[in-house]
Structure 1
Amino acid sequence: MSWLRALKQTSRSGLTVERKRLEPLIALRGAAGLAIVIALSLWLFGPVAAASSAFGAFQAAIATFQRSWRPRPELAFASGTSLAVSTFLGYLTVSHEPLFLALLVVWTFGAGMSWAAGPTIGLVASSNVAIMLVTVTLPTSVAQAAGHASMMVVGGLVQAALIVLFPVRRWGAQRDALADALAAEADYARRLRHDPVAPFDPEPLMEARAAAAVTPRQARRRPAELHGARGLAERIRPVLASLADPAAGASTEGRERDRVRELLDSAAAILDATAHAIRHGEPVDLPPGPITAFRTPDTGAVLTGPRYRAATRLGTLLQDVVETAGGTGAPTSTQRTPDHNLQKTHRPQPPQGREELRDQPPTTRTRPTTPSRHPLRRPTLPGLIPVALSAMRKDLRRGSQVTRHATRVAAVAATGYILGTWLPLGHGYWAPLTSVMVMRPDFSQTYSRAVARLGGTVVGVTAATAVVRLADPGTYLSAALAVTSAGLLYLLLRTGQFAAQACIAAYVVLLLGMGGEQWTQTVPERVLLTLLGGLLAMLAYALYPAWDTPRLRTRLADWLTAQGRYAAEVVATYADPVGRNAPDVREALLAARTARAAWHTAVARATAEPVRHRGLSRTAADDAEDALARLGRAAMLLEAHLPERGAAPVPAAARFAEALRASTEQGARAIRDRRVPTWDAVRAALDAWDSEAESAPGHPAEAAPDPADKAVRTGARRMLEPLTELSEALDTAVPPMTVDGTARAKAKGTAPGKPDGPRNPRDSTAR
């Protein structure tokens, strides 16, 4: 992408106002907290102290709107306290410009490094530095500075107290995350009706897992319906895919496929009803049609073998998730009669004489109707400090994007402060303030926020100035207008940066006007210095960038390593059965999801960057992503039927798993070194496995093969296919795609190891 196109795209993104669900009660609560702090400060200390303390309550309320699963009172208190510390230290050095400049560089560098601990901590730390540049100019003595800092802490405490006393939709974010995960699986089930290999984005499941981590205090107060349902949702998705997949489930057409579609549609309806109940804290209201679909005894007559087991397990999991969503583990009001009980409807008995079903082990059932004794733990607020410092120390290295961002923002803040001081405009802190507020570790956010900051500043300052000139408000009316601007900010904060920056600009002008500064002292200088700060931020990123495009190969290699480990752990479980709750498989799955998310984030950022990576074209990246997604899908289908503890082992699976793990690690090194990975070891292990199965004593070729061996060997063969396609995608010798696609298709058809038959372009389910 050219620079001109990148600038157009980021500018459009920064000026866009998105349509989001507004939360007026939460905005009103934040504005009320700000009004209480301003009124108390005006009564006790006067307008200057009120302006300073208002920044503490203002920042504390903004912190509670950030995307975080931590309790909101903790965020409000931490934000107000950290701003108070920054302001007091800044005032102690502001009279000595070299010392203050050194403090600004250190403080800004630390705020930039805090992005390593998460976006919420990074944003709060950056905002503290920006607001500090304003608040250090308000006190006139050390005693006043201490008083102002104390009132900032009070502002944070007031916002925290209001959250505790007037909760709005308690546990709402956690409910939404879990409901979104179940609703995503419902949508997945519906799409599987029409496309048996439809893709699935695991991001809702990742969000639900992040939301499920609780502090010790939260664990004692978490609603019962938020216990256990996430784990059940994790186990439902592979069963859905296994039931719908033509290779592991029903045929593409016919009576079996019709029955599978009916079950998938019924599962989607039940999952949607459960998601609605969890989201709104209501009893589960199951529709009668889907229940009837799972009650019919025809399932055992239509589906056989793995298909029947998948349908049975799906009904069991749906029953469990419905009971868990009820909150107590007991049937809800919609389940008072046997006609509404899924437990009695999803276990159809196979007809007599069906040997393949009679020989199958009974389906085990785990019903998490009681809270887990070992929930995912989130550190407390004091416990978060060493975690954050450890993350920052880990990222403090040459080449790290966070370190480059911290260096960049520290240099720009110092440069902006020096230029603002030297220029005859007054209020020179607006330039570094703007730079700190708009700079982010990636290109697109930095440039889009710079444009939004400038546009919002012009609109907000113009509107506030017009009000000030026409109404000539006094102290109390200016305070009321400032609270109104802050309330609009809280209401519109999630609609985009342009609206937020306009409200912030109006709020600051009105608040400083309450403190005694005239509009002529703030408007012209602030607009020019805002432009200067935005230009410095954009220029700094252009001169000292941290592009994601050159890192695409590294992200792809990381994903290959994680995906290969996950697939190897699944296959290895068949060699040493440990039951369905295999911890190594679960750990590898989470690592693969994390690597996949990092890859997608890098691709999204690289798409907006004005650079071109010659080592990995967009077409090659798309093909490689599709291949790794298919590898994960093949492993997921095997995971859906993990052997029970004590089942007969498949020794050859261990050798294939070791070859797969070693080959993917070597392949990842090849990708980083711009080489094409090879899979000779994997192919040799699979060939040896086939030869061993054909020549094993007591298992001649004409005899019936071992079902477990055959199933896992088929899955292993399906894993080799996407690995071959990954090498083809990264092979620079393959001709580029022509208009009709014939050149690349021909090249792929002649590649060694290419499986016969056309490839479904939508077969890109990511595990």
Structure 2
Amino acid sequence: MSSSQRSGPPTSARNGPLRVIGGSIRRLYTDATKLDRTQSDPVVAGRNALGLVIPLAIGGLLGHPGLGVQSAIGALQTAFADRPGPYRLRMARMLTSALAAGLTAALAAGFGHSLALSALLLAVCAFSAGLLVMFGPSAAQVGVAATGCALILGHIPERPLAAIDTGLLVFAGGVVQMLLAITAWPLRRHGPERRALAGLYRELADLAAEPIDSSVSPPLGETIAQTRAVLTGAGRDHGPSVEAYRVLLDEAVRARQDILALSAYADRLEVDGNSASAATLYDALTTAASVLARIADALAAGRTPGEREYRETLEIASGIGRSEVLGESLTERAAADRRASLVSQLRAMVQTARTGAGEGSTDEDVESAKGVRRLRDPIAVLRANLDVRSPALRYAVRLGVLVPLTDILTRVGGFDRGYWISLTILVVLRPDFGATFQRSLQRVIGTLIGLLLASVIVHYLLGDGVAPLILLVGIFFFGMRLAGPNNMGLSSICLSALVVALLSIAGIPAHTTVVDRAVATVIGGAIALLASLLFPTWERSQVADRLTELMGAYRDYLQTMVDPRATAAQRSSVRSRSRLARSNAEASLDRARSEPVNSQGILEVGGAVLANSHRLVHALTAIDATRRARDAYRDVPQFRDLVTAVLQQLHLLQGALQGEEIKEKSTLRRFQVELAAAYADLLPGVPIDRAAEYAYGATVIEATDRLVDSVDTITAVLHDAGDDLRLTTAGGDSA
């Protein structure tokens, strides 16, 4: 880096922290007013609202609204475990959540007379809830549900037998939610699987219909990961339909590679002035999009295509490129090979979709698959996170200390409904400061708005009628579920209003909860922020680690691609890990941008590395799409030398991201030129009807050119970052 570049601090630093904080507040407002439709489903929200209203209505009809409120607590907590997935998995997840909520509710009510036992129960629940984040949102929700029940019902002590009754009521409310969630199971056993695949195929059709920019992250990665989780999660069924769904997923992954490659070839041909061949490829992609859309429609509707429709769709897929012969240039030969591959994928999709779309038309074997290895061993994951450097462990310790400590202090101090302080900490506190900062402010502001809104409605408009209050609870819970888990602002407005209505049903006047809960929420949010500042996990200190993992994942991807011993399951697993690593890196950069501290240096470096890594993975995907990388690695010395050099350079990039020095330039380009020369000697004079046999060489020349360019650019970025990057990585968690 030149001396002129080092002559002064960054612009953002010269302008002081106010500009950084101002940017964080602007992003906070944007997040608070944004409704993420990908994280919400009106049908699920309506179903959960009904599940909350049912126990309240039963309690009201029996003349015991307080019992209905206790059961509604279980329904409310269990609703958050109603996530997409197979019905069997959804049932197991929701039953587990309901059981955990009911068990801790009984213990909390029974221990309520003892301050020490209540604190011990809260410490165990809160610490466990913190550790469960390492296993994903579904597991974390079970922990939050159990701790929330313990907090609320621990302030309503009961005798042992009455405490058991309370636990059973809470569990019963959760069971009601679970039954509503799986109502369609006997009729449409695989509805979630079909809908997930239909969504994937629609996005795949859109991908084929629209030009793709290779400078951005390859699309559909998140959708593929979510669909795979639905199809292969614990508790899955087995049988003809489900096996067809898994085949359709695998075919979609391979077709995505072909579509990305064909789109890149079409763009290259257009730039080179070969508009005719480019138009031919665009036409092929458009036709492919129509076939994919038909498959998506059949999956969404759950119907088996008729014989005429099936034959028509199969003929459309088979006819792609049949009468359009491409030229003899390197790009055209490679494109012809990819087009033929895509046609093969489309034919297989059409044939497989006949079984998958018409679920239930044949008897299905539901025996468990044998010999299936779990990709993530829970014991190994837990052991890896039992380290003071683990954000999950630090988060668990914070919760395990703060939740019971604040509950003890509010009990001793006689703070009316002081458990809302602990509950706010439980909901707001996150493993990193950026998320805690955003959630704290959004929850405080949302809570104040919700309290005022509901208090006015209940106190001045509805009065003491139970039926209108129950309806109001359903409306607010619908809004809360529709807002989704990522929008703490809207969720807090609805949750606060919902609590006011619930307490009114239980006999606590609406206006008496406003001030107490508002003060408790502000205090809880402030404590959560203070805890993050005293023992911070700044996301800016994690960016380099996430990028290191990304380079490692891409290195493993390339290594597995050329390994002759790698199985299909291993290749699928390494692709999934690459998508996950890319998602984690992107999310880490987004969170770092929200922190009210100066992290401009690492953000600029991280953004540049991530942008160029998109081109890197596009190149890897193009090579992988040929399904012949292992043969080339074995038979072509120049390809083997280049792959070895790229693997070594990616390893050096991992070290550079951790603060090690790196040379400004690599020798990759020399290896790529030698490889291109070796393949070019094979191509001249080859008849067009044998183009597919040698098209792999053209693909390799195209893809390795992009691969080397992207790796060299990342190398230059990290070399120029120099001391700035080393200072950032060495700084650890210091603010």
Interval of TM-score (by shorter of Structure 1 and Structure 2): 0.7 to 0.9
> For 2:366 and 2:111, how far apart are their aligned partners in 1?
51
CA contact (8 A) 1:69 1:174 kept: no
> For 2:667 and 2:49, how far apart are their aligned partners in 1?
64
- What does 1:70-109 correspond to in 2, within 5 Å? 71-109=89-127
Find the counterpart in structure 2 of residue 8 from structure 1.
Answer: 25
- What does 1:258-657 correspond to in 2, within 5 Å? 258-282=279-303, 291=316, 294=319, 297-300=322-325, 305-327=333-355, 388=378, 390-421=380-411, 423=413, 425-470=415-460, 471-473=462-464, 478-479=469-470, 481-493=472-484, 496-519=487-510, 521-570=512-561, 572=562, 585-613=571-599, 616-618=602-604, 620-643=605-628, 649-657=635-643
Superposed displacement of residue 47, structure 1: 3.9
> For 1:614 and 1:495, how far apart are their aligned partners in 2?
25
Change (3 A) 1:516 1:319: same
Helix, strand or coil at the partner of 1:326: helix
Deviations 1:70-108 (A, max 9, x none): 733223222211111212222343322234223322321
Superposed displacement of residue 16, structure 1: 1.4
Deviations 1:276-319 (A, max 9, x none): 33233345669999939935643236576433222222212112
> For 2:622 and 2:699, how far apart are their aligned partners in 1?
10
CA contact (8 A) 2:623 2:629 kept: no
> For 1:221 and 1:215, how far apart are their aligned partners in 2?
18
Find the counterpart in structure 1 of residue 733 from structure 2.
Answer: none
- What does 1:215-234 correspond to in 2, within 5 Å? 215-220=234-239, 226-234=245-253
**Pair 1:63-2:81 in alignment:** yes
Percent identical pairs in the alignment equals 22
Helix, strand or coil at the partner of 1:299: coil
- What does 1:744-755 correspond to in 2, within 5 Å? none
**Pair 1:54-2:42 in alignment:** no
Letter of the 1:108 counterpart: A
Superposed displacement of residue 146, structure 1: 0.8
Superposed displacement of residue 473, structure 1: 1.4
Change (3 A) 1:44 1:218: farther
> For 1:583 and 1:237, how far apart are their aligned partners in 2?
18
Change (3 A) 1:371 1:97: closer
Deviations 1:323-353 (A, max 9, x none): 22233699xxxxxxxxxxxxxxxxxxxxxxx
> For 1:247 and 1:267, how far apart are their aligned partners in 2?
15
Change (3 A) 1:445 1:598: same
> For 1:709 and 1:166, how far apart are their aligned partners in 2?
51
Mean CA deviation greater in 609-618 or 266-275: 609-618
Change (3 A) 1:702 1:154: closer
> For 1:735 and 1:107, how far apart are their aligned partners in 2?
44
Find the counterpart in structure 2 of residue 242 from structure 1.
Answer: 261
Structure with bigger gyration radius: 1
TM-score, normalising length: structure 2: 0.80
Letter of the 2:324 counterpart: T
Change (3 A) 1:307 1:173: same
> For 1:56 and 1:178, how far apart are their aligned partners in 2?
32
Superposed displacement of residue 503, structure 1: 2.8
> For 2:594 and 2:703, how far apart are their aligned partners in 1?
38
Helix, strand or coil at the partner of 1:721: helix
Letter of the 2:534 counterpart: L
CA contact (8 A) 2:85 2:192 kept: no
> For 1:583 and 1:722, how far apart are their aligned partners in 2?
28
Letter of the 2:441 counterpart: V
Superposed displacement of residue 716, structure 1: 4.2
Pick one of 713, 727, 751 that aligns with 2:715.
Answer: 727
**Pair 1:256-2:273 in alignment:** no
**Pair 1:186-2:214 in alignment:** no
Helix, strand or coil at the partner of 2:635: coil
Deviations 1:208-231 (A, max 9, x none): 222221445533495676342111
Letter of the 2:288 counterpart: A
Superposed displacement of residue 249, structure 1: 7.8
Change (3 A) 1:123 1:637: same
> For 2:672 and 2:32, how far apart are their aligned partners in 1?
55
> For 1:644 and 1:448, how far apart are their aligned partners in 2?
46
Superposed displacement of residue 55, structure 1: 0.6
Mean CA deviation greater in 155-164 or 197-206: 197-206
> For 2:370 and 2:122, how far apart are their aligned partners in 1?
38
Superposed displacement of residue 646, structure 1: 8.1
CA contact (8 A) 2:416 2:516 kept: yes
**Structure 2 residue runs without a partner (length 5+):** 1-11, 359-363, 725-735
**Structure 1 residue runs without a partner (length 5+):** 331-369, 737-767
CA contact (8 A) 1:7 1:447 kept: no
Deviations 1:636-671 (A, max 9, x none): 222222339989822443444334323322331232
Helix, strand or coil at the partner of 1:675: coil
> For 1:701 and 1:510, how far apart are their aligned partners in 2?
76
> For 2:27 and 2:629, how far apart are their aligned partners in 1?
53
Superposed displacement of residue 436, structure 1: 0.8
Superposed displacement of residue 148, structure 1: 0.4
> For 1:322 and 1:288, how far apart are their aligned partners in 2?
7
Superposed displacement of residue 625, structure 1: 1.9
Letter of the 2:522 counterpart: L
Find the counterpart in structure 2 of residue 158 from structure 1.
Answer: 176
Superposed displacement of residue 66, structure 1: 7.3
> For 2:682 and 2:36, how far apart are their aligned partners in 1?
65
Deviations 1:165-201 (A, max 9, x none): 3569865543343233333333333333x86877622
Deviations 1:7-29 (A, max 9, x none): 51354146315274875554443
Superposed displacement of residue 149, structure 1: 0.3
Mean CA deviation greater in 282-291 or 634-643: 282-291
> Of Structure 1 and Structure 2, which has the larger fraction of its residues in helix?
2
Helix, strand or coil at the partner of 2:182: helix
CA contact (8 A) 2:70 2:170 kept: yes
Superposed displacement of residue 163, structure 1: 2.8
Change (3 A) 1:439 1:621: same
Change (3 A) 1:536 1:182: same
> For 2:236 and 2:86, how far apart are their aligned partners in 1?
16
Letter of the 1:643 counterpart: R
Superposed displacement of residue 673, structure 1: 2.1
Superposed displacement of residue 534, structure 1: 1.4
Q: CA RMSD in A?
A: 4.3
Mean CA deviation greater in 536-545 or 237-246: 237-246
Count of matched residue pairs: 682
> For 1:44 and 1:53, how far apart are their aligned partners in 2?
13
Pick one of 651, 656, 662 that aligns with 1:670.
Answer: 656
> For 1:634 and 1:722, how far apart are their aligned partners in 2?
9
Letter of the 2:210 counterpart: R
Mean CA deviation greater in 425-434 or 302-311: 302-311
Letter of the 2:74 counterpart: G
Pick one of 645, 661, 681 that aligns with 2:647.
Answer: 661
Helix, strand or coil at the partner of 1:300: coil
CA contact (8 A) 2:266 2:279 kept: no
